[in-house]
Amino acid sequence: MFLNGEDNDSKMYGNEYILFAINNIRRIALRLRALGLMTAGATFLHFILVITAVTQILYLNTISYLILSVSLTACVTTFIVLFDMYRKDGDSLYEEISDELQWNIRSISINEPKDNEITYNRRPAMEYRLILRQFLRANDMPFISGRLGPAVYIAMNWMFLFGTALLYRYPHINTL
């Protein structure tokens, strides 16, 4: 088993690096989840900033709003770049781990003289399957699933920045 420290599964699969790969993909999944939450939080703060700039709840000059908007856009862009980098690394690890586990299951089932069915004992450990599934779920951004999630967050933040720049350029717009 993997999480309780036993090393039986790595002997079964004949690859001493499978535990290392599983640990790496688990760390990547945690990073993806954290970056997704930071992106959603920064986007929400950016939305609040635009609302306060339009309604002038906080009496700041428009250059302060613009500087904060540029900073938040830069943070979200950095988070998205890191998210995409970790997602790509995790995807390649996920494919390699899946191929390795599937290849070993097939080779074990072919070598059995009785029948070619895979028994429960020959399946990968539950911890492996759960960690791989957690990685797949961490690939989605909060509130926006799919591969376009990061692009939607980037577009929203750039629209917020554009709106704040308009308020800076044309300060009479926010006099409702």
Q: What is the DSSP string of 123-171?
A: SPPHHHHHHHHHHHHHTSBTTB-STTHHHHHHHHHHHHHHHHHHHHH-G
Asked whether the whole model's pTM tops 0.85, one would answer no
At 106 the pLDDT is: 52
pLDDT at 6 over 80: no
Q: Which residue has the higher pLDDT, 132 or 80?
A: 80
At 13 the pLDDT is: 47
Q: Which residue has the higher pLDDT, 113 or 155?
A: 155
In the chain, the percentage of residues whose pLDDT exceeds 70 is 73
* Among the ranges given (8-17, 27-36, 77-86), the one the predictor scored with the smallest mean pLDDT: 8-17
CB proximity list for 57: less than 8 A, separation 6 or greater: 51
pLDDT at 12 over 50: no
**Exposed e or buried b per residue across 35-70, where buried means at least 16 C-beta atoms within 10 angstroms of its C-beta:** bbebbbebbeebeebbeebeeeeeeeebeebbebbe
* Among the ranges given (16-20, 37-41, 86-90, 101-105), the one the predictor scored with the smallest mean pLDDT: 101-105
